Amino acid sequence: MKRILIVDDEENIRFLYKEELEDEGFVVELAQNGEEALEKLPLFKPDIITLDIKMPGIGGIETLKRIREMERGLPIILCSAYGEYKQDFTTWASDAYVVKTADLTELKYTIRKFLGLL
Amino acid sequence: MSEHPDAYTLLKSIIHHSASSLPIETKLDQMVQSISSAFQSDRCFLLRPDQINQNGFLSRLASEKKPFWMDEGSSFQGDGVLLEEKDLLSPTFACIPLWDETTFQGILYISFSNKKKLSPQDVDLLLLIAEEMRASIRNACLHQKAEQTISELTALHEMGKAVTSTLQLSDLLELILMTGLKTLKAKGGVLRVEERRTGELKVKSSHGDYHQNPLDEKIARRVFFTRTPISLNHSGKERPFLSILCAPLLSKGGVLGTLTFYNKEADPSKFDERDFQLLLTMANQMSCAIENALTHYEISNIAQELEKRVQQLSTLWELSKALLTTVNFERIIHLTLTAITIGDGLGFNRAMLFLVNEKGKTLEGILAVGPDSAEEAGRIWTTLSQRKGTPSDLIAQLQLSPEGNSILSSMIKGIQIPLEQEHCILSRTVLEGRPFNIQLPPAGEEWLQIHCERGCNLGSEVGCGAGEHLSHHPRVYSFATVPLWGKGKVIGVILVDNLYNQNPITEDDIHVLSMFSNQAGLAIENAILYRNLEEVHQELKEAQTQLCHHEKMAALGELSTTIAHAIKNPLVSIGGFARRLDRAIQNESQEKRYTQTIVKEVARLEKIFNDTLNYIRDESLVFKEYDLRDILKKSLSMISEGFDDGGIHLVKEFADGLPKVIGDDQQLKQVFFNLITNARQAMNGKGTLTIRIYPISRNGSPFIKMEVEDTGKGIDPENLHNIFNPFFSTENASLGLGLSIVHKIVTTHRGQIEVDNHPGKGATFIVTLPAKKE
C-alpha cells in the first residue's frame, strides 16, 4: 500500500483528494500547512507528497526546500491553482507540477507515474 | 576830252558803283568797265591774287606794293616777265597793286595799244580809283566776314538752343548732327559715341551713307584715340573726291566720341579753315551737352534698373509672406509653384517641383503647376488678370485641389531620376547646386532626351506636352532649372518653362527665381521637418494611448488574477465532488443529469479562467528554434475532432526548405490553435480550411508567412477594427480572447498579423514571423 501525504490549506480540497485517492487504494495522510507536513513526515513516512504552494505559514516553496533536506529522494508533486509557475518549478525544485482542476485525472496519472504503478 | 577822261564823271560813276548794294564781283566789274570806257583803254581788269603766278613779274610788283607805269619815255625791257605774262606787255600799261594793310587784294591792270603819255592827273585818278576799289574789296570782305560770323553765331545759338531743349540722348545726337550739317553746309555727317560698357565706338547718328565707308571708321578711331581733329581732302584715282572734317568730342578728361562731316554743298566741295574752326567750336560746345545727356541716360537707366529691382524685391517679399502663412507641406509646395507661375509673381508658364529622396538617391517628381494646353493657359490668364489684390492675397485664396490633378502634375508625380546621372539636367542641378538656363531648338521628339541618355524619362514626359505645342508654334523652346536649397544642402529642383507664350528666359529671371527658391527651399524643408515632427507626435500619442491601455489591462489583469484564484479552489472542490457524486449515481437516474450538468459547467468555468489567466499573465517565455510545421501538426492533433465528421475540408500547403522560426512553442501552438478554432467557428462546421506556410524575404531578412484561410462568412467591415481587441466576440459562447491572444503572441515574437477579409466569402489571417538567418 503506497502512502501519500496531501498538504493543502483548503479543507475541501484535502477532503476531495483523500476520498479520491483512497478510492484508488492509497493510504492518505493530510496536513493543512507546511509546519504540520514537516511534523508528520518522519512519522507517516509517505512514498509521495502533493504540496500546495500558496499556504499560510512557511508556504509551499519553503516546505519543499525543507522536505528536500530531510528526505532527498522523496517525489514531490507541486499542486496549485496557479498555472503560471509551472515552467519554473518543474525545471528545478519539484518532480512534477500539476495545475489544480476538478478533473483529477492528471494528478492521479502523475502520482502513479512516480510510484511506478503504470 | 578825248585824250583824258573827265575825272569828275569817272569818280562819280566809281563812287556810285562802290556804294551800290551789288555783290562785290559785279561792283568791281562795273568799276573796271567805267575805267576802261573813261580812259578808252584797250584792256582793263582786276587780277585777283589766285590769278597771279607766284614767281612772275606781277607777283614781284605785288610784293613791292608799288604801282608800275609803262608809258612814253619809260624804259622797260620786260625783265623777269614770264611767258604767260608777255601778253600784258602793251606799249602803254599800268599795274597798281591793291593792298589792305597786310592783305594783298589784287592788281588793277590797264593798257593801251599805242604809245602815250600818262599825265599826272591820269596817274592820280587811277590811284584814287584803285584806292576806292581797295576800300570796296575790304568792305566787302568785312561784310562777308560779318555775315559769316553772324550766321555762325546764329548756328551756334540754334545749336545751343537745341541741345538744351532735350535730354533724350538719341534726339540730342540727331539734333547736333543736323545743326552741324546746316551750319557747315555739309553733304553728310556721322556722329559716333563710345559705349562705356564695351568701349566700342558706335555710330549714333548719320546723314548720307558716309558711315558705310571703311575710311570713316578709320578716321573716327584715329581722331578718337589721338584726341586730335583732322581736316582732310581725300582724292583717289578711282574714288570721288572727299573733303572730310573730323573732331573729337572732348569732355572733362575724356573723349566721348567723334563728329565727322563730308563734302561742302558748294563748288568746290572743299571745306576751308573757317569750317574747320567752326566744327571745333561746335564740337567743344556739344561735348558738354552730350556728356550731360549721356549721364542722364545712364542715370535713368540705373533708376529704371533700381525700380525693377524694387519691384522684384516687393514681389519676393509678397511671395515670402504667402509662404509664411502655413507649415503644411502640401500647401507650401503648391504655394511655391503657384507663386512662380502667376503673372504678379515670377510669371513663368509652368513650374515643376522635384525633391531629393536621400534614401533612394533619386529625384522624385512631386508636383507641377501650369495649364495643360494653350487654351487653358489663355483662360487662366484672363481670369487672373481680372482679379485684384496683392500676390500674397491671390495666392492665399487659391484652392489646393484642381492643380494637383492636372495631367502635367500626374505625369510629374511618376518621375524618378537616379541622382548619379551626369547627363540629366535635373540631376546635375542637384549635384552641382547651380541653375541651368537652356535654349533648345525643337529637334523632333527627343529634344530634351539629349540630356537624359540614361533613361531619364523627363524629356519625353515634359516633351510630349511641349512637342505637341511646338508643332503648332515652331519656335525655340527654353527651360530653366534652379536648385532648391535647404540648410546647407540641395533638397530639390524647380523646373520652369514658358511653353505657351514663348517668352525667353533671361538671366535676370533666373536670378529672381533663385532668390525666391532659396526662401521656398527653407520653407519646404521646414514643412517636411514639421510633417515629420507631426508624424512622430502622432506616433507618440498612439504609444501613449497604448500605454494607457496596457496599464488599464494590467490593473484589470491583477484584479482578475486575484479573483480567479480565489474562485478556482472552490471550483476544484465543487467539480471534484460533483464527479464523485456522478460516479456514484446510476446512469438512468434523474440525479445523473444534475451531476453531469455541474461537472460540465465547472469544466467550462475552469476553461474560462484558464483562458483569461493565459492572456493576462506575463509568462516567462522560452525561445528556441522550431520548425513551424511541427508546431502546426501538434496544434492540429489537439483539435482533430472537428475535422473528423467531414464537414470541413482541410488543405495544407507547406513550402519546402522552410527556415526555422525562433519562438516559444507553447505560444506558437496557441496561435495556430486559436486561428484554426476561429476559422472553424466562422465556417460553422462546413467549408474548406486552407493552411499555407512559406518563406519570404524583406529587406534581405528572412521571414515566414503562414496563412489560415477559411470559406466562412468573413468579418463584418464594422467589426474589422475590433477583432484584435480583448473581450470582443461575435460568438455568444466565446469570451473573445482568441484573436487578441494571437495578436499579443505574434507581437511578442516581433511578427505581424493581417486580415484579408472578403465579407460573405471568407477571411484569411496572415501571420508573418521573423525566421532564423541561414
Tell me the DSSP string of B689-738. EEEEEEEEEETTEEEEEEEEE--S----GGGGGGTTSTT--SSTT--S-H
A:B CB pairs within 8 Å: 57
Other C-beta atoms closer than 10 Å to the C-beta of B663 total 25
Q: Are B90 and B79 in contact (CB under 8 A)?
A: no
For the four alpha carbons of B269, B273, B276 and B281, in that order, the dihedral sign comes to: negative
What is the structure's pLDDT at A15? 94
Number of domains in chain A: 1
Residue B494: strand pairing partners: B353, B482
- What's the first-to-final CA gap in chain B, in angstroms? 158
Comparing alpha-carbon positions, the chain B residue that sits nearest to A82 is: B565
Looking at beta carbons, which pairs linking B3-8 to residues 24 or more positions away fall under 8 Å?
Answer: B3/B116, B4/B119, B4/B121, B4/B122, B5/B38, B5/B39, B5/B40, B5/B122, B5/B125, B6/B38, B7/B121, B7/B125
What is the structure's pLDDT at B331? 84
Grid coordinates in use for B130?
Answer: 584803285
Q: Which chain B residues contact residue A82 at CB under 8 A?
A: 565
B356 vs B336: CA distance, rounded Å: 17
Amino acid B178 reads M
What is the structure's pLDDT at B726? 63
Q: Which of B599, B603, B617 sits opposite A84 (nearest CB)?
A: B617
Amino acid B531 reads R
Give the gap in angstroms from C-alpha A23 to the nearest C-alpha of chain B: 10
For the four alpha carbons of B27, B29, B30 and B36, in that order, the dihedral sign comes to: positive
B554 vs B338: CA distance, rounded Å: 54
Q: Are B637 and B603 in contact (CB under 8 A)?
A: no
B496 vs B437: CA distance, rounded Å: 10
B309 vs B318: CA distance, rounded Å: 14
Q: Which chain A residues contact residue B573 at CB under 8 A?
A: 10, 12-13, 15-16
Q: Which chain A residues contact residue B614 at CB under 8 A?
A: 83
Comparing alpha-carbon positions, the chain A residue that sits nearest to B566 is: A81
Cβ of A102 within 8 Å of Cβ of B569? The answer is no
Grid coordinates in use for B439?
Answer: 535654349
Amino acid B510 reads I
| Rg, C-alpha atoms of chain B | 58
Q: Which of A15, A54, A102 sits opposite B575 (nearest CB)?
A: A102
B297 vs B275: CA distance, rounded Å: 31
Q: Are B497 and B301 in contact (CB under 8 A)?
A: no
Grid coordinates in use for B314?
Answer: 516687393
- Could you list the beta-strand ranges (E) of B465-615: 477-485, 490-497
Which CATH class for the B7-146 domain? alpha beta
The three-state secondary structure class of B344 is: coil
B418 vs B412: CA distance, rounded Å: 15
B674 vs B737: CA distance, rounded Å: 9
SS3 for B378-433, per residue? HHHHHHHHCCCCCHHHHHHHCCCHHHHCCHHHHHHHCCEEECCCCCCHHHHHHHHC
Residues whose CB falls within 8 Å of the CB of residue B81, separated by 6 or more in sequence, listed in order: B56, B57, B88, B89
B671 vs B53: CA distance, rounded Å: 140
Question: Which of these, B137, B126, B144, B175, lies nearest to B10 by C-alpha position?
Answer: B126
Identify the residue whose cell numbers are 501519500: A4
Mean pLDDT over A29-36 rounds to 94
A75-86 tens-digit pLDDT: 999 888 877 666
B726 vs B615: CA distance, rounded Å: 9
Question: Which of these, B155, B190, B156, B184, lies nearest to B274 by C-alpha position?
Answer: B184
Domain with CATH 3.30.450.40 in chain B: 7-146, 166-299, 324-535
Q: CA torsion angle for B619, B624, B629, B635 (degrees, to 10)?
A: -20
Grid coordinates in use for B615?
Answer: 492572456
Q: Which domain holds residue A46?
A: 3-115
Cis peptide before B268 (omega within 30 of 0): yes
User: For B166-299, which CATH superfamily applies?
Assistant: GAF domain (3.30.450.40)
Distances (CA, A) of B742 to A34, B270, B672: 40, 117, 8
What is the structure's pLDDT at B470? 45
Residues whose CB falls within 8 Å of the CB of residue B717, separated by 6 or more in sequence, listed in order: B757, B759
- Domain holding A33: CATH number? 3.40.50.2300
| Rg, C-alpha atoms of chain A | 13
B37 vs B28: CA distance, rounded Å: 14
Cβ of B619 within 8 Å of Cβ of A13? The answer is no
CA atoms within 13 A on the CB side of B329: 15
Question: Which of these, B468, B495, B490, B327, lies nearest to B409 by C-alpha position?
Answer: B495
Q: CA torsion angle for B38, B41, B42, B44 (degrees, to 10)?
A: -80
Q: Are B239 and B280 in contact (CB under 8 A)?
A: no
Comparison of pLDDT for A28 and B242, the residue scoring more: A28
**b/e burial code for range B46-60 (CB count within 10 A of at least 16 → b):** bbeeeebeeebbbbe
B163 vs B160: CA distance, rounded Å: 5
Q: Which chain B residues contact residue A50 at CB under 8 A?
A: none
Give CATH for domain B621-770.
3.30.565.10
Question: Which of these, B354, B348, B333, lies nearest to B398 by C-alpha position?
Answer: B333
Mean pLDDT over A16-43 rounds to 94
No. of helices (H) and no. of strands (E), chain B: 20, 22
Q: Are B91 and B114 in contact (CB under 8 A)?
A: yes
Name the stretches of chain B with pLDDT < 50: 1-2, 401-404, 442-458, 460-461, 463-471, 473-474, 733, 735
Backbone angles phi, psi at A55, to 5 degrees: -140, 150
Residues whose CB falls within 8 Å of the CB of residue B388, separated by 6 or more in sequence, listed in order: none
Quick one: DSSP state of residue B530?
Answer: H
Other C-beta atoms closer than 10 Å to the C-beta of A44 total 18
Q: Which of A10, A15, A102 sits opposite B606 (nearest CB)?
A: A102
Interface test with A, best of B562, B563, B572, B609 (most A CBs within 10 A): B572
B337 vs B319: CA distance, rounded Å: 11
Q: Are B113 and B40 in contact (CB under 8 A)?
A: no
Q: For residue B136, count CB atoms less than 10 angstroms from its CB and return exposed for 0-12, middle for 13-18, buried for 19 or more.
A: buried
Comparing alpha-carbon positions, the chain A residue that sits nearest to B615 is: A84
pTM assigned to the model: 0.44
Q: Which chain A residues contact residue B577 at CB under 8 A?
A: 12, 16
B231 vs B259: CA distance, rounded Å: 12
Amino acid B538 reads Q
What is the structure's pLDDT at B736? 56
Cβ of A103 within 8 Å of Cβ of B575? The answer is yes
Q: Which chain A residues contact residue B617 at CB under 8 A?
A: 84
Options 3.40.50.300, 1.10.3720.10, 3.30.450.40, 2.40.50.360; which CATH number does B324-535 get?
A: 3.30.450.40
Comparing alpha-carbon positions, the chain A residue that sits nearest to B575 is: A102
Grid coordinates in use for A81?
Answer: 491553482
Comparing alpha-carbon positions, the chain A residue that sits nearest to B564 is: A81
Cβ of A102 within 8 Å of Cβ of B572? The answer is yes
What is the structure's pLDDT at A32? 94
B206 vs B192: CA distance, rounded Å: 9
Q: Which of A20, A81, A83 sits opposite B576 (nearest CB)?
A: A20
